[in-house]
Amino acid sequence: MPQTKSHTTLQVSASGALGPLTPEEALLFEKLDLERLPRHVAVIMDGNGRWAQQRHLPRAAGHRSGTKTARSTIETCARLNIEALTLYAFSVENWRRPKTETDFLMQLLREYLRREMPLIQRNNIRMRFLGRSDELPKGVQDDMRDATERTSGNHGMVLCVAMNYGGRAEIVDAVNAIVAEQNGHAGRAEITEESVARHMYTSGLPDPDLLIRTSGEMRVSNFLLWQIAYAEIFVTETLWPDFNRARLFESLIEFQKRERRYGGIREGQPHPEVSARVVGK
Ligand code: FPP
């Protein structure tokens, strides 16, 4: 069947793009339908501290190890041709941590951007930063601006790093931007779902289809509150530093098992009382 053949060819070339797979990864990869991957994956990278604690290491070692997981997740998603990946690196609430830790995390991001730029460029990734960047230390802001500019001509996956990000802060910022824009116009303010979406930090990107949270907490922690309205949520007990490629494949396989109804009803199952509802977005 031509359809099966082209699908097989796609799988072979995509797995080739991923480099050598371990036997576990190969088994999982076979279960993935590459034509039904999420367009946008968002990740709450949690559990670095616990990972370090279990090994009697300082928390910083957990964060360092977490950067390695970030690298494999970024490269794998880019090579699977996922449109956008958003990583929650630092929330507006994270300032409540000891200064030594927040300083370390700022330094780690700067180091990360410097060290990973060749990988980002090699994979044709465009970088964006989500959050109140103007409240970050000047050196961090400079490096973020530099990374955004240097990758602005790339056309592959969009990698968003949420830095000093808060979901409520984002909505407040969007509303303020709309008010500022409309103050210049006479007449009634027209605020619609579309105009709010256009003013969010993620403007122009599809909403996440899949939200992954590592280390087992059942919370969204002020992350992409507007955008995850219809996201499938995948929570795993795995701590972020242990979230390797096999675990990522598992989350994508789980996503593909979910039935997405967007408030409608299952296709092929008409319901007389709600027959006017539309399935899908
Ligand atoms: C949550 O673990 C993790 C963070 C607050 C920092 C995330 C940062 C990284 C993974 C490294 C930087 C990544 C990039 C892309 C620059 P936690 O400290 O809350 O863990 P715990 O809940 O076990 O204490």
* pLDDT tens digits along 15-34: 778 999 999 999 999 999 99
Q: Give the mutation target among 41, 43, 44, 45 for probing the ligand 1 site: most ligand atoms within 8 A of CB.
A: 45
Ligand 1 site residues, Cβ closer than 6 angstroms: 45-50, 63, 66-67, 70, 87, 89, 94, 105, 108-109, 112, 161, 240
Distance 26 CA to ligand 1 centre (A): 28
Q: What is the mean pLDDT of the chain?
A: 90
Asked which of 7-16, 78-87, 126-135, 146-155 is least confident by mean pLDDT, the reply is: 7-16
pLDDT of residue 268: 59
What's the confidence (pLDDT) of residue 188? Answer: 64
Question: How crowded is the C-beta side of 22, counted as CA atoms within 13 Å?
Answer: 7
> Per-residue pLDDT tens for 35-82?
999 999 999 999 999 999 999 999 999 999 999 999 999 999 999 999
DSSP annotation string for the chain: -HHHHHHHHHHHHHHHHT-PPPHHHHHHHHT--GGG--SEEEEE---HHHHHHHTT--HHHHHHHHHHHHHHHHHHHHHTT-SEEEEEEEEGGGGGS-HHHHHHHHHHHHHHHHHHHHHHHHTTPEEEEES-GGGS-HHHHHHHHHHHHHTTT--S-EEEEEEEE-HHHHHHHHHHHHHHHHHTS-S-----HHHHHHHSTTTTSPPPSEEEE-SS----TTSSTTTTTT-EEEE-SS-GGG--HHHHHHHHHHHHHSPP-TTS--TT---GGGTT--S--
**Cα(189)–Cα(186) distance, integer angstroms:** 9
Q: Which pLDDT belongs to residue 274?
A: 39
Atom of ligand 1 nearest to the CA of 109: 16
Question: For 257-279, what is the mean pLDDT?
Answer: 60
Residue closest via CA to ligand 1's atom 3 equals 46
Closest CA to 69 of 239, 249, 250, 222: 239
User: Does residue 177 carry a pLDDT above 80?
Assistant: yes
Q: What letter represents residue 238's amino acid?
A: T
Between these two residues, 251 and 273, which has the higher pLDDT value?
A: 251
CA of 45 relative to ligand 1 center, distance in Å: 6
* Ligand 1: nearest atom to the Cα of 59: 18
Between residues 272 and 159, the one the model is more confident about:
159
Q: Which residue has the higher pLDDT, 14 or 122?
A: 122
Comparing 99-108, 115-124, 142-151, 173-182, the range with the smallest average pLDDT is 173-182
| 46 belongs to the catalytic site | yes
Look up residue 212 and give its two tokens.
Answer: 């992954």
Per cent of the chain over pLDDT 90 is 79
Catalytic residue (one of 33, 48, 81, 94)? 94
Taking the centre of ligand 1 as the mean of its atom positions, its distance from the CA of residue 174, in whole angstroms, is: 26
How high is the pLDDT of residue 186? 64
pLDDT band at 14 (very low <50, low <70, confident <90, very high): low
Q: Whose CA is nearest to atom 5 of ligand 1?
A: 90
Residue 192 has a pLDDT of 87
At 181 the pLDDT is 85
pLDDT band at 180 (very low <50, low <70, confident <90, very high): confident
Residue 126: beta bridge partners? 158
For atom 13 of ligand 1, the residue with the nearest CA is 67
- Ligand 1 pocket mutation pick from 48, 90, 212 by most atoms within 8 angstroms of CB: 48
Top pLDDT among 64 and 178 is at: 64
CA 112 to ligand 1: nearest atom? 16
* Active-site residue flag, 94: yes
